[in-house]
Every structure is written in C-alpha cells, then in structure tokens.
Amino acid sequence: MTNAEHYLNMKILIIDDEPDIRQSLAYVLQDEGYETNSASTGLEGLSYISAKQFDIVITDLMLPDLDGMTIINKAKEICPEIIIVMITAYGSEEKAVEAIRAGADDYIPKPIDGDELLMKLSKAVEMRRLRDENILFHRRLEKEIEIARKIQQTLLPQQIPEINGFDVAIFSQPAKYVGGDYHDIITLSSGNVGIAIGDVSGKGMPAALLMANVQASIRRCSEDRYPPKEIIQRVNSALCPICQLIEEHRFVTLFYANLNPQNGEMVFSNAGHNYPILFKQDGSLYNLSDGGGISCGILNNFHYDEAKIKLEPNDIVVFYTDGIIESMNTEELIFSEERLIDLVLKNLNLSPDEIINCICKELNEFMGNSIQYDDMTLMIFKMQDS
C-alpha cells in the first residue's frame, strides 16, 4: 500500500453510546472511503484500540462508563500517535478546551454537521500524516546518530599502546547523543608519546565533525613532531574558520603533551581544557595549569605557550573531561573535581586500572538513575617504580 492509499484508507474508530450517531457517522465516513469500527462504551472502545491499529478516534466527550478525559489518557498510552476528535454537546466549549489541553487533537459540537465533520476529518488526516512523518524522521535520525556514534568511536584508540615505564588506563563512555569528547595516545617515531584529550562544545553532528577534524589535525602534526604549543596552534588555525561558520559558535578545549618515557619529561600545552592533575606519592598534588591559552576555534593566530614537568616513579597524572566532574545525580548535585581528587588520593597505591574502577563505581552510585547528557573520558598515567 502506498502512503497515499494508507491515508485515504485510514482506520477510524467511532465511540458513542447513541446508535443513531454511530450509524450516521459510519455512513458518512465510509461513503468517503474510510474504514470504520464502532463502540458503544468507553471500555469497549479502548479494547478495540488495544487490539486493532486505528489512526483516528472520534469519541463522545461524555459516555456512560468513562468520561472523555479518561479515554484520551488511556488511548494515548496505548497509541501515542493516535488522533482524537471529541464530540461535544452544544454549549460545552469549556469541556472541549479542557479535552484539547488533556491531549485531544480537535472537537466537533453536536448536532453534527456532515460537511463540518468531513472538514474536521480532513484536518485530522493531515495531522496524522504529519505526525507519522515526524515519527519516521526521528527514527531515521536516531539511526543515523547511532551510526555516527559508532563511526566516532572508531576514531578513538581501540587499544592502549605499550609505554615503557608507564601503566596507563582509559575510561571512555559516550553519552546518548553524539558528543565531542576526544582522547588519543600516539606513539611517535622518536620513541616519545603524544597524549591528547579534548572536548568540543555542544552536541550533535557539528560536535562529532569537529572532533574528527581535531583528531586528524593532531595525528598529522604529531607525525611531523611539532612541539605541543605549535600543534595546538595548528589545530586552532584549522578550527577557527570552521567554528565561525557554525551558527552556535563552537570551540574546542584541548590538552596536548609530549611525554618522554625514558626520563619522565613531559612538555605540554593547554587550550582551555580542564587542568590535568599530578599526584605525588606523599599525597601532594598539582594542577598542570602552566602553558597554553584560550580554547581552540575562538581566535585565529593566537600564540600558545607550553610548560614542562619531570615525572618521578609512582607519580600519577589524571586527565579528564568535564563530563566526569559535572555528572549530575537525581538531586542535581554534581560529582565535582573535589570528589575525583579525593578518590585518587585514597587509592594512590593502586594501578591506573584499579583507580579507574574505583572512580567508575563511585560515579555510578552517585548518578543512580539520572541521565548522562555528556561524554565522560578519564585517562590515568602512572610512572612505574624503577
């Protein structure tokens, strides 16, 4: 059956306790080519809706067993996309307005005029067509988003490369919608390791495309062995024209480091990203807040700085995106950076994998049944005891 045939042959259920009204409505509608069924009570009508697929329901506002509001609520529970047209008694406009607010799509007053009925029905058919198209559009969109999410995940590291002298663990959990978290660990030809973590503002396909652009830019620059500040500058130069084309001006927070596993030296530059945290075995900690500048995509030709630290055995560096610390529970409280720091401090003697497991356990308990709206990324590096 074509779409045109479907809408011409829509199935209509008539619910009314007066036989004459049921018969006259059925006659008018069938004469126009619609398939109809009739029910004399609200309960009978709801049983029909449960058992058979109807496109439109025409129902009296007041029935012996159920009122119109109950029928609206129950019918929408069974079939949310169903169109409901209420039949109202003369002078009961207030009840009709109440029914519209409750979820009815239209109403027709008694005595029922045949021409008005057909006009209302034509409107109802168009509403159902648009509603069906909207549902189909969203199903296709959700499918495309799911495909985009899968493609996006393939751009992220599928396994952690071996880094001599370091234990590394990663936790990455995408939100329901396509997001913009990015992380990467790149083995460079020099033997050093490139470490990247970033977050694209906003959600949806623009964020995903920007994230892919960041990944490609960093991979290309890292292979050329540019220093971190120049890599950030090149990413910024590539992103600025793109970000300015997008209506909701986007930007990318990005941290990039070049780690020498042989001596623990790490040179880094930070474009507006959450500061990674260095934990020492004595319980002291330091934000890696030196070096960098504003987020990428905001100001072209911005010159970034870089900084350098030297890691020591058993030092732990935690890299994360704001999806971790801004995760919210059902009481709308955030997980917080303080909670993250406290969990790491309590588990300094554990491996990165074990620390991440502790954090994830606490995070899941904290969030409970709340919805995760943002991607969550966490990377932990621990220098082995020589």
Residues 48, 164: one domain? Answer: no
Check the CA dihedral 59-62-63-67 and report its sign.
Answer: positive
Residue 56, domain member (yes or no): yes
Query: How do residues 241-269 score in pLDDT, each as one tens digit?
Result: 888 877 667 899 999 999 999 999 999 99
308 and 350 together in one domain = yes
**Among 90, 114, 145, residue at a domain's last position:** 145
Residue 39 lies in a domain: yes
Whether 273 and 298 map to the same domain: the answer is yes
Report the DSSP pairing between strands 83-88 and 106-109: parallel
Do the domain assignments include residue 298?
Answer: yes
- Based on the fold, state whether residues 315 and 170 are members of the same structural domain: yes
* pLDDT for res 3: 42
Tokens of residue 117, six digits: 């009925």
Encode pLDDT of 205-229 as tens digits.
777 778 888 888 888 888 767 899 9
Q: What is the DSSP letter of 199?
A: E
Query: Tens digits of per-residue pLDDT, 159-186?
Result: 888 999 999 999 988 876 666 788 999 9
Q: Residues 208, 63: one domain?
A: no
If you average pLDDT over every residue of the chain, what do you get?
87
Quote the number of domains for the chain: 2
Residue 224's identity, in one-letter code, is D
Q: Give the pLDDT of residue 143.
A: 76
CA distance 212 to 229: 20
CA distance linking residue 193 with residue 163, whole number of Å: 8
Cα 121 to Cα 191: distance, rounded to the nearest angstrom:
73
Residue 316, helix vs strand vs coil: strand
Together in a domain, 185 and 310: yes
Which among 87, 122, 145 is the end of a domain? 145
Parent domain of 265: 155-383
* C-alpha distances in Å from residue 240, one per residue of 106, 222, 301, 308: 50, 20, 9, 27
> What does the radius of gyration of the chain's CA atoms come to, in whole angstroms?
31
How far apart (Å, rounded) are the C-alpha atoms in residues 254 and 292? 9
Helix (H, G, I), strand (E, B) or coil at 331: coil
Is residue 150 in a domain? Answer: no
Task: Note the pTM of the prediction, 2 decimals.
Answer: 0.68
Residue 103 sits in a domain whose CATH number is 3.40.50.2300
165 and 108 within one domain: no
pLDDT at 155: 66
Asked if the structure places residue 98 within a domain, the reply is yes
Expressed in angstroms, the distance from the first to the final Cα of the chain is 73
**Regions of the chain short of the pLDDT cut 70:** 1-9, 90-91, 145, 147-156, 176-179, 204, 224, 247-248, 386
Do residue 60 and residue 93 come from a single domain?
yes
